[in-house]
């Protein structure tokens, strides 16, 4: 049996699209696949500080976090960092200053923290909701983006006026790729990094052939990895539905045992 490797997005893939829980069948399938000798990796846009313990406790071989900007693998049951890249303070400061020309909510992310620019009150439903979620999880959001040593790995924005996006991107496009996450939400990932570059790094690290690579996702920010791996799986709850025509296989919804179904279909379990 060939050793295969699978990469999983978190939100809407590992987690139920209904309530954000991890279905028991998903936990069982991943553990069984590992018991069968296959390699299981999280591959997420979340930076490592926001990859909750409940996901790590499922039992993975490693994590590609921050859309390929930070990579870990498990050695002796401990997550060891293999790779990390962050932005310079100058770049982060330029983004911060430029963002204040617009009515928007800005969230900086790094492997250490999450940081909203709260110089003015939050304006959007998405920004307010995530801020309150982080509060409920007792995340440290005390960093000041105006500090002399402040930097980030990536960032996200909620716009109040969609017509502002082209003007905002006149600066951000020098350093970041913009991912349309739907509605007024945009994710900004450093140029030359993505979920796909993270996969390439991991394949090289484990000496796994590309033909044995699989990826699981449910949204547009998963497209780089879905397009990169030999086999790609879209969850039945994917948004937009246009993902279905761009993948190898469409599974059931995350809440309806979709991970188990797909891993069984491809012979992991």
Long-range contacts of range 244-253, CB-CB < 8 Å, 24 or more positions apart?
A: 251/216, 253/17
**Rounded mean pLDDT, 194-198:** 97
Residue 252 has pLDDT above 70, yes or no: yes
**147-173 tens-digit pLDDT:** 999 999 999 999 999 999 999 999 999
154-159 β-sheet, strand order: 114-116, 104-109, 154-159, 185-190, 176-180
Mark which of 140, 162, 190 sits at the end of a domain: 190
**11-59 tens-digit pLDDT:** 999 999 999 999 999 999 999 999 999 999 999 999 999 999 999 999 9
**Structure token digits, residue 175:** 């350093």
pLDDT at residue 221, as a whole number: 80
**112-143 tens-digit pLDDT:** 999 999 998 999 999 999 999 999 999 989 99
**Rounded mean pLDDT, 87-96:** 97
Q: C-alpha distances in angstroms, 52 versus 20, 21, 55, 160? A: 12, 12, 6, 29
| CATH label of the domain that carries residue 118 | 3.30.1240.10
186 shares a domain with 117? yes
| CATH label of the domain that carries residue 207 | 3.40.50.1000
Q: Which of 106, 84, 110 is nearest to 94 (CA)?
A: 106
**Number of domains present in the structure of the chain:** 2
pLDDT at residue 1, as a whole number: 64
pLDDT at residue 148, as a whole number: 94
* pLDDT confidence tier of residue 199, bands split at 50, 70 and 90: very high
Separation of alpha carbons 155 and 171, rounded Å: 14
pLDDT at residue 220, as a whole number: 83
**58-77 tens-digit pLDDT:** 999 999 999 999 999 999 88
- pTM equals 0.93
Mark which of 155, 190, 225 sits at the end of a domain: 190
Residue with tokens 């390439």: 200
pLDDT at residue 247, as a whole number: 97
15 shares a domain with 78? yes
**200-212 tens-digit pLDDT:** 999 999 999 999 9
175 shares a domain with 134? yes
Domain extent for 109: 89-190
251 C-beta neighbours (distance < 10 Å), count? 25
33 shares a domain with 20? yes
Q: Are the C-beta atoms of residues 116 and 105 closer than 8 Å to each other?
A: yes
């Amino acid at each position: 049996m060939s050793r295969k490797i699978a990469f999983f997005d978190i939100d809407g893939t590992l987690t139920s699209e209904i309530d954000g829980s991890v279905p028991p069948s998903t936990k069982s399938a991943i553990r069984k696949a590992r018991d069968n000798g296959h390699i299981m990796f999280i591959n997420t846009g979340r930076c490592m500080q926001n990859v909750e313990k409940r996901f790590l406790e499922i039992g993975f071989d490693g994590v590609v976090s921050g859309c390929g900007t930070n990579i870990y693998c498990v050695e002796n049951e401990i997550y060891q960092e293999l790779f990390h890249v962050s932005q310079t303070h100058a770049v982060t400061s330029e983004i911060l200053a430029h963002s204040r020309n617009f009515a928007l909510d800005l969230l900086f992310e790094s492997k250490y923290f999450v940081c909203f620019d709260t110089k003015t009150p939050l304006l959007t439903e998405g920004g307010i909701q995530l801020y309150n979620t982080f509060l409920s999880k007792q995340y440290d959001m005390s960093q000041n983006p105006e500090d002399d040593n402040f930097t980030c790995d990536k960032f996200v924005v909620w716009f109040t006026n969609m017509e502002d996006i082209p003007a905002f991107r006149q600066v951000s496009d020098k350093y970041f790729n913009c991912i349309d996450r739907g509605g007024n939400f945009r994710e900004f990932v450093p140029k030359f990094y993505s979920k796909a570059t993270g996969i390439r790094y991991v394949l090289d690290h484990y000496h796994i052939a590309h033909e044995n690579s699989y990826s699981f996702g449910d949204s547009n920010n998963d497209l780089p990895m879905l397009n990169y791996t030999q086999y790609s799986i879209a969850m039945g709850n994917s948004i937009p539905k246009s993902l279905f025509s761009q993948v190898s296989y469409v599974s059931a919804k995350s809440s309806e045992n979709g991970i188990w179904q797909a891993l069984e279909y491809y012979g992991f379990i």
